[in-house]
């Protein structure tokens, strides 16, 4: 029985000669020896004896696991000497090529990402890592470097181990999974679990070892009749058994709420058809029929990923059948091509590129895989920046000063980003500091920028902002803010009209308000409120407007009364006034503290915005200021006559 033992395998030291023996590096041995010598000299000067081993093993990973080649290996070898300034970018480009320089720059960008808040921004961090570089090889090299880190996790200090394992679980495992790098994904998962949950890992591992002899015996008996039947029908197949990974078993124990002994599908039987022809799907279904003739299948457990491949490109036919002793066994049926794709992800797609079969572009990662398939007939070492850039022109990721990551559309400006944080931040934004440099509102953001928004209480939206923002939602926000600024006195006017209508005994309802809109020739209700808020409409005409038989008829303009005239009108017994009576409950008013009115004395009413109606003496020291600045808030008032 085969079992994934990647977590317990020892990885022997890789020598330079072994590395140079790879077919992908033929024709570049001299250049690679030169690059290795420069790196080795620097690591010896820095007293880093293990660095050369890391370079060689990481190079082997990206060659074997990811199908990368010479340019990527040069990048791994030379990255550190560029970090240390041993070679300038110009020297790298002249001696090793423009692509190598670009790959090194891309790796540096990924390494500079502040991932301290990765746990609360997982999807955005993953998106940033995928889109930050124009060349997909940068991401693959970074995955290879992370696999090396996890294989040698114990070499790092304890705090560094926690950071590496946490990042791997949150970011690198999902990326490997979505790119179809299942072998790498499974190894990373096992190593993370062994570090973060060593007790559970050790317990399941021990139980697997204890039950291995029984599984071996059971699977031999299970496979024997299948092998015979396949041979009878002329199928050349490899049959093998594979135990599920320890993290997968743990997930099943949790989701099914059972102990280890109750997990019925600990292992799977894999049938691999050793040929690749156009009707390979039909052959897989023929094998399925032969297997289910021997063992009864569970129809609810049939998974057809041949007719409908996963977005990762995974193709296989899965069924679960009842074996001896009533034990359920999962059977996976696939061709050799399908198996290599399942093991190596899109790296195998390049080898088995078939015309006329297009993978659905389900998401960001499907787009990457689709791109890589497009490059199958070319060397992956050729630049793919143009194609990859076309995939992501609509998405960038921006850091806040606190390390949070925000997703925006490509082409968005500082002003867009400010409004994305909060409308208030956007409305008061005066500029920003991007990557340590001051920039204006119209500055266009780039993927991975760190942005600190600068605000001022005196700042307000202006019409010019409509030419700066790109987001339709932010355009609407600014238009609304400009409208509110233009109608900033509308709330005051609304309060004035409402109080006046209440005083006159009219309901404050749409029908009545619309009468006022028509009577005063306003364009809208908001325009009506604004006019009264600015004191540009005659408050004393509201009663006439509401009682007028024809709301559309405009009254003859009447000269606005002065404050003394209004007060004298009240004293002369005019009816349009506020009756001051402590027993009245429907009208809220208070006596002003500045002049302390007493019953019987001449008074007037002033409409305050937050405190309702205030009653003042006509001789109040603040009366002239109120009439001068807010004449539209003055109401006539008098005391209720005493009852006899």
Give per-residue pLDDT as tens, 569-625: 434 444 445 676 555 544 567 888 888 888 878 888 887 766 678 888 888 888 887
Please check whether residues 475 and 580 belong to one and the same domain. no
Q: How far apart are CA 6 and CA 4, in angstroms?
A: 6
Which is more confident, 610 or 626?
626
Which residue among 461, 486, 511 closes a domain?
A: 486
- Residue 115 in this model has a pLDDT that exceeds 50: yes
In a domain, 358, yes or no: no
Q: Output the domain CATH number for residue 289.
A: 3.30.460.10
Please check whether residues 444 and 554 belong to one and the same domain. no
In this prediction, residue 340 carries a pLDDT of 78
In a domain, 365, yes or no: no
Give per-residue pLDDT as tens, 458-483: 888 888 999 998 888 888 888 888 87
In this prediction, residue 532 carries a pLDDT of 86
Pairing of β 328-335 and β 267-273: parallel
Tell me how many degrees the CA angle 336-337-339 measures, rounded to the nearest 5: 65
In a domain, 188, yes or no: yes
In a domain, 364, yes or no: no
Please check whether residues 105 and 78 belong to one and the same domain. yes
Please check whether residues 303 and 420 belong to one and the same domain. no
In this structure, what are the phi and psi dihedrals at residue 239, rounded to the nearest 5 degrees?
Answer: -115, 130
- Residue 23 in this model has a pLDDT that exceeds 90: no
Please check whether residues 542 and 600 belong to one and the same domain. yes
- Residue 288 in this model has a pLDDT that exceeds 70: yes
Please check whether residues 175 and 28 belong to one and the same domain. yes
CA atoms within 13 A on the CB side of 371: 23
Q: How far apart are CA 248 and CA 23, in angstroms?
A: 35
In a domain, 85, yes or no: yes
- How many independent structural domains does the chain possess? 4
Please check whether residues 191 and 215 belong to one and the same domain. no
Give per-residue pLDDT as tens, 250-259: 988 888 888 8
In this prediction, residue 604 carries a pLDDT of 85
* Contact call for residues 118 and 168 (beta carbons, < 8 A): no
Please check whether residues 178 and 80 belong to one and the same domain. yes
Which residue among 351, 369, 388 closes a domain?
A: 351
Which residue among 196, 216, 251 closes a domain?
A: 196
Q: What average pLDDT is seen over the chain?
A: 80
Please check whether residues 618 and 631 belong to one and the same domain. yes
- Residue 370 in this model has a pLDDT that exceeds 70: no
Q: Which residues constitute the domain of residue 587? A: 490-639
Which residue stretches of 46-197 are H helix? 51-64, 70-83, 89-96, 98-111, 122-131, 136-151, 158-167, 173-178, 182-196
- Residue 568 in this model has a pLDDT that exceeds 50: no
Please check whether residues 164 and 179 belong to one and the same domain. yes
Q: Output the domain CATH number for residue 422.
A: 3.10.20.30
Q: Output the domain CATH number for residue 29.
A: 1.10.3210.10
Q: Which residues partner with 439 through β-bridges? A: 432
Which is more confident, 59 or 132?
59
Instruction: Work out the average pLDDT over 275-299.
Output: 85
- Residue 384 in this model has a pLDDT that exceeds 60: no
Q: How far apart are CA 528 and CA 531, in angstroms?
A: 5
Q: In what order do the strands lie in the sheet with 451-455?
A: 437-439, 429-434, 451-455
Please check whether residues 87 and 21 belong to one and the same domain. yes
Please check whether residues 18 and 143 belong to one and the same domain. yes
In this prediction, residue 578 carries a pLDDT of 64
Q: What are the Cα distances from residue 1, in Å, to 214, 220, 250, 323? A: 11, 9, 20, 17
In a domain, 357, yes or no: no
In a domain, 560, yes or no: yes
Which of 11-20, 166-175, 225-234 has the weakest average pLDDT?
Answer: 11-20
In this prediction, residue 413 carries a pLDDT of 93
Instruction: Work out the average pLDDT over 490-515.
Output: 86
Q: Kind and range of the H or E element at 215? A: helix 212-232
Q: What are the Cα distances from residue 203, in Å, to 135, 212, 260, 264, 537? A: 42, 14, 9, 17, 83
Is 0.75 topped by the overall pTM? no
In a domain, 602, yes or no: yes
Q: How far apart are the first and last CA of the chain?
A: 112
In the structure, what pLDDT confidence band is assigned to residue 550 with cuts at 50, 70 and 90? Answer: low
Q: How far apart are CA 492 and CA 611, in angstroms?
A: 12
In the structure, what pLDDT confidence band is assigned to residue 26 with cuts at 50, 70 and 90? Answer: confident
């Amino acid at each position: 029985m085969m079992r994934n033992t990647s977590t317990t395998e020892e990885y022997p030291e890789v020598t330079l000669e072994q590395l140079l023996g790879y077919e992908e590096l033929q024709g570049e041995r001299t250049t690679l020896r030169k690059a290795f010598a420069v790196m080795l000299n620097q690591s010896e000067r820095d007293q880093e004896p293990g660095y050369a081993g890391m370079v060689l093993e990481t190079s082997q990973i990206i060659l074997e696991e990811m199908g990368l080649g010479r340019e990527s290996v040069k990048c791994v070898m030379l990255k550190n000497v560029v970090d240390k300034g041993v070679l300038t970018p110009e020297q790298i480009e002249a001696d090793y090529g423009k692509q190598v320089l670009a790959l090194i720059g891309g790796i540096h960008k990924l390494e500079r990402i502040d991932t301290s808040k990765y746990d609360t921004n997982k999807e955005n961090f993953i998106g940033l890592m995928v889109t930050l570089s124009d060349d997909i090889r940068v991401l693959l090299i970074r995955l290879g470097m992370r696999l090396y880190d996890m294989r040698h996790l114990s070499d790092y200090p304890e705090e560094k181990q926690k950071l590496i394992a946490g990042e791997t679980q949150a970011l690198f495992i999902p990326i490997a999974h979505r790119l179809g790098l299942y072998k790498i994904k499974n190894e990373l998962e096992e190593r993370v679990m062994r570090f973060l949950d060593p007790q559970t890992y050790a317990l399941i591992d021990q139980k697997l070892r204890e039950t291995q002899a029984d599984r071996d015996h059971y699977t031999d008996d299970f496979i024997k009749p299948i092998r015979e039947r396949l041979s009878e029908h002329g199928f050349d197949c490899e049959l093998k058994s594979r135990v599920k990974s320890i993290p997968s078993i743990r997930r099943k124990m949790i989701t099914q709420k059972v102990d280890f002994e109750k997990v019925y599908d600990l292992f799977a039987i894999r049938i691999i058809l050793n040929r690749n022809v156009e009707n390979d799907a039909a052959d897989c279904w023929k094998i399925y029929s032969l297997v289910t003739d021997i063992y009864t299948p569970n129809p609810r457990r049939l998974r057809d990923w041949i007719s409908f491949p996963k977005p990762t490109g995974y193709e296989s036919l899965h069924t679960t059948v009842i074996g001896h002793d009533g034990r359920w066994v999962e059977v996976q049926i696939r061709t050799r091509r399908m198996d290599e794709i399942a093991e190596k992800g899109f790296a195998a797609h390049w080898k088995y590129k078939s015309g006329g079969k297009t993978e659905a572009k389900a998401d960001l990662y499907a787009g990457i895989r689709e791109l890589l398939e497009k490059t199958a007939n070319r060397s992956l070492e050729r630049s793919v920046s143009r194609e990859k850039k076309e995939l992501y022109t609509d998405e960038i990721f921006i850091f806040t000063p606190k390390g949070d990551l925000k997703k925006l559309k490509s082409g968005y400006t500082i002003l867009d980003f400010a409004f994305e944080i909060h409308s208030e931040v956007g409305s008061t934004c005066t500029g920003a500091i991007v990557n340590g440099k001051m920039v204006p509102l119209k500055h266009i953001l780039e993927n991975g920028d760190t942005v600190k928004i600068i605000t001022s209480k005196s700042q307000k939206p202006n019409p010019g902002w409509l030419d700066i923002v790109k987001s339709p939602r932010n355009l609407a926000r600014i238009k609304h803010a400009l409208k509110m600024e233009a109608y900033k006195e509308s709330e005051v006017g609304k309060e004035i009209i409402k109080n006046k209508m209440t005083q006159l005994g009219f309901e404050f309802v749409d029908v009545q308000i619309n009468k006022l809109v028509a009577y005063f020739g306003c364009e809208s209700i908001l325009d009506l409120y604004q006019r009264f808020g600015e004191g540009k409409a005659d408050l004393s005409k509201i009663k006439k407007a509401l009682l007028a038989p024809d709301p559309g008829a405009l009254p003859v303009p009447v000269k606005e009364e002065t404050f003394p005239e209004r007060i004298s009108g009240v004293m002369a017994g005019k009816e349009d006034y506020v009756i001051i009576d402590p027993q009245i409950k429907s009208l809220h008013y208070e006596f002003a503290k500045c002049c302390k009115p007493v019953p019987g004395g001449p008074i007037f009413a002033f409409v305050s915005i937050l405190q309702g109606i205030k009653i003042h003496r006509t001789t109040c020291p603040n009366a002239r200021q109120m009439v001068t600045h807010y004449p539209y808030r003055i109401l006539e008032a008098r005391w209720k006559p005493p009852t006899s």
